[in-house]
Chain A
Amino acid sequence: MRHTKRAVTAALLTSVALAMTACAAGDSGSGGGEAAACEPAGEDVTLTFTSWIPGIEDAVAIWNEENPDIQVEVQTGPSGNAGTYQNFFNQLEAGNAPDLGQIEYDALPNFRVQDGLENLAACEDVVAASDQFLDWTWSQVTLGTEDEVYGVPQDQGPMALFYRSDLFEQNGIEVPTTWEEYREAAVKVREAGGYITNFSQTDINQFAGFVWQAGGQWFANDGDAWTVELTSDESVKVADYWQDLLENDLVSSYPAWTDEWNNAYNSGEVWTWNSAVWGANSISSGAPDTAGNWSVALAPQWEDGGTAAGNWGGSSIAVFKGTDHLYEAAKFALWLNTSEEALTSLNQTAAIYPATTAGLELPTLTEGVEFYGGQPIYDVFAEAAEQVNPDFVWGPTMTQTYADVSDGFKAAASGTGTLTEALEKGQESTIATLEAQSIPVAE
């Protein structure tokens, strides 16, 4: 799958480059500079909404039933980085973007920089709803600005520690609460013939979650220029930590989501996974033989008694530039992500973990989960969600950053480089990419 994605991205980039040169001349003033007013259209409206979440149609059907004057049509496609984001950019270029679209937090700045999004701060209801969302999810859609809102948060991926409670118990190993203990446990697990976890060279998002937890920042934006800090102290600290585990053969390094990877978990070779809330499904379907043996604990901390959590994933519903129905679109986006009926539907059919505080109290999210020995695991994630640092900012060229860092991580996993070197390379090429797109970079 990874290869396909690469190929598709490469193909998309090539064709975009072609189209850019082809259309640069003919493109004039379709966007318009002034902010659209957020007012009702006063007539029946049909909105188009693109999302790749299977089952989101169910929630939309509820809305369509209740709002005959604002009908929503669902359009779909592959997940964002697998093609839909590029389609959005193509559509913006061609002037036929949908009214609303699903955009993951790490891609929002990119759309913002390309001027592809409507500012929802013009819509009173949206601004008034800000305190319903967890602080950090809200700051993901405001991109750290005061009077700009580029989407309504939908879901989130607070990280915690999935672990094989049976194996830890049988071998008399304490479940680690700090990263130091985690390393000590890793040694014991290795002696018992397993690996404490798998360090995936392809999931830079997971690594970013670790940096996020350590209080690190990869990007900052002061309104004028971007600062790139892939090699900040916290980032390097995290890199060194995992480098040490890799070099001492204390973690495995299968590419994530492959059959080998699933098998490593299913066979008990790998004992823990530092993952997001949605990882619960990945384990239960990828390692079905281990049912009942898993538990969830808060993530290991850098300091004894610390309370910090990272985040991996999550997305928002944004309104695209050029919509004629900003008011209706904002109204729908808000309903989809705050109303109890929508959140319940999304949780049941699409396993969406909501971004609102009220959403975390949904009945399905407070019950015990059979696969996890009856533990109410979502309580742990709700606690972790409160601990996520709100200040983490994504850069506007994440696709490129992920690709470059991932290349370096692969080298590190095969012993021909280090994780820190990968970050240094990512730092350099990210700055180069920003400058190539005339996005100002602060030194």
Chain B
Amino acid sequence: MSTATGPDATSTSPAVNPRALARGGSAPTARGPRESILSRTGAMLVMAIFTLYFLVPIWWLLVASTKSRGDLFSTNPLWFADFQLFQNIAGLFSYRDGVYLRWILNSILYAGFGAVVATLLAGMCGYALAKYRFPGRETIFNVVLGGVLVPATALALPLFLLFSRVQLTDTFWAVFLPSVVSPFGVYLARVFAEASVPDELLEASRLDGAGELRTFFTVSIRLMFPALITVFLFQFVTIWNNFFLPLIMLRSEDLFPVTYGLYAWNSTINQFPELRTFVLVGSLLSIVPLIITFLLLQRYWRTGLGTGALK
């Protein structure tokens, strides 16, 4: 995307460097085994470069979003000019009757709702595979594991042809239904359920007269919570960023998720240059829900990842 190729990553703007370096350089608080100054500096340097590498495009996006179309090309790409962010946002929100807001809403629906359902399904499936013994259990698990290996892109077109048969293309369900499947989630949930839900607890709850469903929803699900949050986050981000499936399935602008909508705009920038600003501001705003989700769930997914890694 042209928006990302803009800034020269090696150019050193005084505005951004000290900050990024400070962030990269303030790390040596860990009390690990002693290392030579040389290797530590080397590591710091590598980290600083990577920090820059990841932060500069975002910084550029932030700066570019605040500029008017004229200033975009004639001013320093890494520093602010005339501050126009709010005019740009207003323009974006009003362009074509606020179709952008609709896209954001769609993305939240696809990703939020889809990830909740996907997490629930993956959690139940992983739990069942971990805690119940039944014939074919390993076969099912291996098939699910195989599913992790198939790229979503390769499935998109067969899905399109399937959905065409049942006349579901260009509907909400065309994007939603494939999104609630998460083989990786099943895998994670199984591993986690095996480690964190003790059989004794299940027996105890059975003795107390709870049915299997009730046991799952009142006891097991709490123990699995960190893993489920991780699955939710993974799935949320995957659906949010899923681009190819909507590209193939959707024709109605009202159903587009924000990634696809922005891509469509970006593809016509040559002929409709006014869209450039909207694509920039739209890209910036489209990462806000992701950031919010991550911050809200940070506490959980940290423990989730950590626990999984230790056990």
Contact = CB atoms under 8 A, between A and B. Distances in A.
Contacts of A50: 251
B161 A22 contact: yes
Contacts of B252: 75-76
Contacts of A91: 164
B63 to A, nearest CB: 13
B247 A259 contact: no
Given A18-B157, A257-B269, A54 B5 contact: no
Interface stretch (B45-53, B184-192, B259-267): B259-267
A114 B236 CA distance: 39
A16 interface: yes
B264 A52 contact: yes
Interface stretch (B36-44, B66-74, B121-129, B130-138): B66-74
B234 interface: no
A288 B69 contact: yes
A22 B1 CA distance: 32
Contacts of A358: none
A16 B157 contact: yes
Contacts of A4: 1, 263, 266
Nearest to A289: B74
A422 B69 CA distance: 36
Given A82-B263, A266-B74, A285-B273, A94 B164 contact: yes
A3 B77 CA distance: 21
A16 B263 CA distance: 21
B251 A75 contact: yes
Nearest to A258: B2
Given A95-B164, A258-B5, A282-B273, A288 B153 contact: no
A59 B244 CA distance: 30
A1 B268 CA distance: 10
A19 B2 contact: no
A263 B73 contact: yes
Interface in A4-42: 4-5, 8, 11, 14-16, 18-19, 22-23
A82 B248 CA distance: 12
B74 to A, nearest CB: 5
A107 B8 CA distance: 35
A90 B267 contact: no
A74 to B, nearest CB: 8
A351 interface: yes
A16 B247 CA distance: 14
Interface string B145-162: 000000001101110110
Interface string B57-99: 0000000000001101110010000000000000000001000
A263 B73 CA distance: 6
A79 B268 contact: yes
A15 B267 contact: no
Interface in B233-251: 244, 247-248, 250-251
A267 B70 CA distance: 12
A181 interface: no
Interface residues of A, number: 52
How big is the B interface, by class? 35 or more
Given A1-B1, A78-B247, A262-B73, A281 B273 contact: yes
A278 interface: yes
A8 B247 contact: yes
B69 to A, nearest CB: 6
B267 A257 contact: no
Nearest to B96: A54
Contacts of A259: 2, 5-6, 72-73, 77
A47 to B, nearest CB: 13
B263 A78 contact: yes
A82 B77 CA distance: 27
A285 B274 contact: yes
B48 to A, nearest CB: 26
A93 B123 CA distance: 37
A263 B7 CA distance: 13
A355 to B, nearest CB: 16
B253 interface: yes
A83 interface: yes
Nearest to A98: B251
Nearest to A265: B73
A87 interface: yes
B153 A77 contact: no
A209 B18 CA distance: 49
Counting chain B CB atoms within 10 Å of each CB, the highest count among A3, A18, A50, A96 belongs to A96
Nearest to A82: B267
B275 interface: yes
B264 to A, nearest CB: 4
Counting chain B CB atoms within 10 Å of each CB, the highest count among A16, A54, A91 belongs to A54
Interface string A76-113: 11110011000100110111101000000000000000
9 contacts: A2-B2, A15-B156, A19-B161, A76-B252, A87-B247, A96-B164, A98-B251, A257-B2, A278-B270
Interface of A: 1-5, 8, 11, 14-16, 18-19, 22-23, 48, 50, 52-54, 75-79, 82-83, 87, 90-91, 93-96, 98, 257-259, 262-263, 266-267, 278, 281-282, 284-289, 350-351
Interface of B: 1-2, 5-6, 69-70, 72-74, 77, 96, 153-154, 156-158, 160-161, 164-165, 167, 169-170, 244, 247-248, 250-253, 263-276
Given A3-B1, A262-B73, 19 more contacts: A4-B1, A4-B266, A8-B247, A15-B157, A15-B248, A19-B160, A52-B268, A76-B253, A83-B247, A90-B160, A94-B160, A95-B164, A96-B164, A98-B251, A263-B73, A267-B74, A282-B270, A282-B271, A288-B73
